[in-house]
Amino acid sequence: MTLLRLSQKSDFNPSRIPLPSSKSESNRALVIDALTEGENSLSNLAEARDTQTMIRLLKSSPPVFDVLDAGTTMRFLTAFATVTNQKKVMTGTARMCERPIGILVDALRSIGAEIHYLNSEGYPPLAIHGLPEQKSDKVKIRGDVSSQYISAMLMIAPVLPQGLEIELEGKVGSRTYIEMTLELMAQFGIEYTWEDNKIKVAHQAYQRTTFAVESDWSGASYWFSLLACADSGALFLEGLKENSLQGDSAIVDIMEFLGIKSTFENGGVLLKKQAVKGLKKWDFSHCPDLAQTVAVTCAILGQDAVFTGLESLKIKETDRIYALQQELAKFNAELKEIEPEVYQVIPSVTMPSKVQIHTYDDHRMAMAFMPLLTKTEVVIEDPDVVNKSYPSFWKHCELIGISTEKLETA
């Protein structure tokens, strides 16, 4: 196994970080591009493995779409292959084959798709045989498992012969990602209405356009956390916009409570330290990918906080609740379920002289625990796990004065 030892060489002052591009925006733009007649001009596509996998599969179109561990690539390409009447097998890593897809398959089948499960009902791998005829222009989808099913159906809606009306059932999680999908579709000329729980998209053509992907706010969150945990310094994060398509820009509001003042200027955001006001309670329903970052920040800063909206964390790259609980315990902090689906972060009071973080095949576990280096010696297991969303993460650590030393073990 590879281990990476992290330690701080200097103050983070003044350091510029050339953030990676958003994989969520990139993967949507690529699917829309594949559904547009004629050429779009897409720039700043993400270096993330999830996006590079999407690019490779769309370009080479092999009979088996192996998406590895990329959730959006799995869900978006399932809908794409169906609507474009392709015969494909959809598969991925062992963990991907444990991540549910039944809600999307049911939605596609209800409008006429032919899709079969090759192993377990409700999970990849799948065999897609296409959509011989659109049988319905209405579909109901529950909103509390993954918004990616809804985004996948929305992106194919304009090219369906009868268009599509999607009725969202129950609580809707990750709503900001549905909004991102619709706003991006609108940039490619699509008109839609969203009233109450019904989103309607008529049959229409995607218009050729020029689209530049913004930097990744989820990736930016680790630098907010690092500065919040550091004694001093300032950071400039390049390529972020105040009016972002990405819901994870909520990190600005969260970190305002945890000691970071953000100023948008010169095509990015300048982070400076300010007094910690304290974060009492936060609902992560619409920004689930920030939960690990903020849990670790609170644990390090000695901030007791209550988190809700963590339901979807159990079905992501790993069970992120379990993973957080195990790793926080290594420095005497806790993520305790105090009522069903209500969690309290109980911060660390004593910090060991060294902490080794297991990363559970989850990029966000590696990146979220990096700021621990401000308090103790940190060793990250399997550091290449960051490649899923942020391959240059450790290089950027070096760039701002963190030493990263690779250690090989048997």
Ligand X SMILES: O=C(O)C1=C[C@@H](OP(=O)(O)O)[C@@H](O)[C@H](O)C1
Ligand Y SMILES: C=C(OP(=O)(O)O)C(=O)O
DSSP letters, 181-210, are HHHHHHHTT---EEETTEEEE-S-PPPP-E
By CB under 6 A, is residue 26 in contact with ligand X? no
Q: To the nearest whole angstrom, how small is the minimum distance from the Cβ of residue 364 to ligand Y?
A: 5
Q: To the nearest whole angstrom, how small is the minimum distance from the Cβ of residue 340 to ligand Y?
A: 23
Q: Which is nearer to ligand X, 176 or 303 (CB)?
A: 176
Binding mask 306-345 for ligand X (x = CB under 6 A): ------x---------------------------------
Can you say whether residue 68 is alpha, beta or left, with left for phi > 0 and alpha for psi between -120 and 50 degrees?
A: left
Euclidean distance between CA atoms 311 and 60, whole angstroms? 36
By CB under 6 A, is residue 248 in contact with ligand Y? no
> Quick check: is 216 catalytic?
no
* Sign of the CA dihedral running 157, 160, 162, 168: negative
Select from 53, 82, 147, 221 the one that contacts ligand X (CB under 6 A).
147
Q: To the nearest whole angstrom, how small is the minimum distance from the Cβ of residue 118 to ligand Y?
A: 20
Q: Which is nearer to ligand Y, 317 or 327 (CB)?
A: 317
Select from 288, 309, 371, 383 the one that contacts ligand X (CB under 6 A).
288
Among ligand X, ligand Y, none, what binds residue 371 when CB lies within 5 to 8 Å by partner kind?
A: none
In whole angstroms, how far apart are CA 134 and each of 77, 138, 202? 18, 10, 14
Which tokens in the block code for residue 333? 């902090």
Among ligand Y, ligand X, none, what binds residue 177 when CB lies within 5 to 8 Å by partner kind?
A: ligand X
Binding mask 63-82 for ligand X (x = CB under 6 A): ---------x----------
b (16+ CB within 10 A) / e for 39-77: ebebebbbbbbbbbbbeebbeeeeeebbbbbbbbbbbbb
By CB under 6 A, is residue 148 in contact with ligand X? yes
Among ligand X, ligand Y, none, what binds residue 364 when CB lies within 5 to 8 Å by partner kind?
A: ligand Y
Select from 316, 333, 335, 385 the one that contacts ligand Y (CB under 6 A).
316
Piece of 30-38, 59-67, 145-153, 184-192 that binds ligand X (CB under 6 A):
145-153
Q: Contact at 8 Å (CB) between 281 and 308?
A: yes
**Nearest residue to 12 (alpha-carbon basis) of 251, 218, 260, 250:** 260
Q: Which residues contact 1 (CB under 8 A, 6 or more apart)?
A: 381, 382, 408, 409
* Contacts to ligand Y by CB under 6 A: 70-72, 289, 316-317, 364, 389
